[in-house]
Each structure stands twice: as C-alpha cells, then as structure tokens.
C-alpha cells in the first residue's frame, strides 16, 4: 500500500474517533427526553403511583389525587440525611434557567440560578471542588440541597436507608429544600455551618437552614434522582421548597465533601422535571 493512501486511511480513522468522542459528550436530543417521559407515563399509568417530584413550583396544577398524610413540621422529625444535586431539580422562583438536556442520565441538566453574579464571585478557585467522573463544581454553579427528615427513630447517616429503621420501614418523610449558588466569596454562607446538626427537643435537627429565602412551597410528591426518569418512585414525600437562592462560599462546599456524616463526596444527578399533570399533585398553599 502506498504511503499516501495509508496516511489518508489513518486520517479518516482518527477523524471518525474524534467525531464519536465529541458526540459522546454532546447533550442528548429533545427526542431522548420525550421518550423518557413517555416511558414514565406508560410505566405508571393505572399502577397507583402517587404524585411525583421534582416539579415547577410556580405551577400549582396537578391531577394526581392519591392521598397521604402531610408529614409533621421538620422540627418534630429526625433529620436523617443531607445531600445535594448539581443544578436544581425543581424549577421556579430564582432558579428557572434550563441547563440543557445533559447526558440523559441526570448529569449536566436541571435548572440554574437566574440572577446575576459579579466577576469576583465567578473568579476561579485553585482546587477542584467535589470532583467526580461527571466533573467538579465551579463558581457560578447551582446546587439543590435536600435536608431529609423522617418520623422513624433514626440518626443522620448515608442514603435514604438512614431514614428507615427496623421498627419503621414506612415512615413519613419530609424534604426541606434550599437551592444555593456557589460563589468565590468568603463572606457568603459557610456550607459546613448550613449542614450542622444536633439533637434538639429529643430529635435530630439541621439547625442552620436559611430562614430568609422566601416562604417554602409545600406539596406532596416523591423521592427524586435520575433513576426515576422512566419509572415511578413509590416513596411518599412532603416537600418544602424555598423559592429564593442563597449564595454559599464554594470552598466550604469542597471542605464538606472531604468529610461529613453522610458520606457525600460529590453532587448527585437530577431527575427530569415531571410535567405530566397526572403525576403531579395540586399545590394548595
């Protein structure tokens, strides 16, 4: 084979691999998200699933009338888990900018802070923050933090399993939700302080959830996460989602990821926003 022909073939193969690599990192099409939503609709139809999460908290409409008791105030329940998702799973309030379709598996999608940040707040930091195979966190990123509470007699720990006990496998669950935007600012909230917890009046409590980010939107829903993009979550959850975003010092998030009671090291992926009204409860507050 002539050397010139060999070079042409090599160049073609190299170019093909380059295209494949680029395509592998590209966001999935709208058709993929639509297909996932169709699968969710088909897999839940007439199966008795209760209302699902996440949702647009600015839209009150919902046709799912499955009833379950509203969980008590979180101050009467045990904090059992804290974790966060990169980009907000919910939409509404001050987090309405769509991050794109992502990889179809919950990463690089969701909703971002819709406000403005200064150049100083967006300036890079030296170290990688909460790195994973899906990337690390950077100034300007949005995270949605879930403070999960249970009526079971449990202590704070890793995963949803920490919210269940041998004596109570079906407790009432409540998620107090706060969306944060990460900034390079030592005067912003300290994430380690925001996640502090202690026993108060006989129950484990997150003692520093912000109280200045608007009246929480309360609704009946489910657990979240991309594992439920095509199937319903069977868990019944009372949600309280604060509509305003708080700024948090990104370096303190990195410090938290290096060691905490919940074994959390990086951001979780997000579930597709649930838009099928048959899978949403009506927001009444």
Position 4 confidence tier, pLDDT thresholds 50, 70, 90: very low
Distances (CA, A) of 207 to 40, 42, 87, 151, 198: 37, 41, 24, 17, 7
| pLDDT digit string, tens, across residues 220-234 | 999 999 999 999 999
Quickly list H helices, the chain: 3-25, 30-44, 191-194, 250-257
At residue 10, the pLDDT reads: 39
- Answer with the residue of higher pLDDT: 247 or 8: 247
Let me know: does 101 contact 83? Beta carbons within 8 Å: no
Alpha-carbon radius of gyration of the chain: 21
As to burial, measured by CB atoms within 10 angstroms (0-12 exposed, 13-18 middle, 19+ buried), residue 76 is: middle
Q: What is the pTM of this model?
A: 0.91
Q: How far apart are the first and last CA of the chain?
A: 76
Question: Rounded to an integer, what distance in angstroms lies between the CA atom of residue 155 and that of residue 80?
Answer: 6
273 has a pLDDT exceeding 60: yes
Let me know: does 150 contact 171? Beta carbons within 8 Å: yes
Let me know: does 264 contact 134? Beta carbons within 8 Å: no
Position 24 confidence tier, pLDDT thresholds 50, 70, 90: low
| pLDDT digit string, tens, across residues 58-112 | 999 999 999 899 999 999 999 999 999 999 999 999 999 999 999 999 999 999 9
């Amino acid at each position: 084979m002539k050397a010139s022909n060999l070079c042409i073939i090599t160049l073609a193969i190299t170019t093909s691999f380059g295209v494949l690599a680029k395509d592998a990192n590209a966001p999935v099409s709208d058709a993929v998200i639509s297909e996932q939503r169709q699968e969710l609709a088909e897999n839940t139809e007439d199966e008795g699933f209760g209302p699902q999460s996440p949702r647009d908290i600015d839209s009150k409409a919902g046709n799912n009338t499955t009833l379950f008791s509203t969980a008590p105030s979180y101050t009467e329940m045990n904090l059992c888990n804290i974790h966060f998702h990169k980009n907000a799973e919910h939409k509404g309030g001050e987090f309405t900018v769509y991050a794109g379709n992502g990889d179809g598996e919950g990463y690089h999608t969701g909703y971002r802070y819709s406000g403005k940040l200064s150049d100083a707040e967006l300036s890079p930091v030296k170290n990688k923050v909460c790195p994973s195979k899906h990337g690390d966190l950077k100034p300007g990123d949005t995270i949605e933090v879930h403070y999960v509470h249970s009526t079971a007699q449990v202590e704070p720990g890793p995963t949803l399993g920490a919210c269940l006990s041998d004596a109570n496998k079906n407790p009432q669950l409540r998620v107090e939700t706060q969306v944060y935007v990460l900034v390079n600012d030592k005067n912003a909230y300290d994430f380690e302080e925001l996640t502090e917890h202690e026993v108060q009046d006989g129950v484990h409590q997150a003692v520093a959830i912000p109280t200045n980010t608007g009246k929480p939107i309360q609704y009946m829903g489910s657990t979240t996460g991309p594992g439920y993009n095509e199937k319903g979550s069977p868990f019944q959850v009372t949600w309280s989602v604060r509509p305003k975003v708080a700024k948090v010092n990104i370096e303190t998030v990195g410090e938290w990821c290096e060691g905490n009671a919940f074994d959390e090291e990086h951001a979780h992926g997000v579930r597709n926003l649930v838009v099928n009204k048959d899978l949403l409860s009506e927001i009444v507050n």
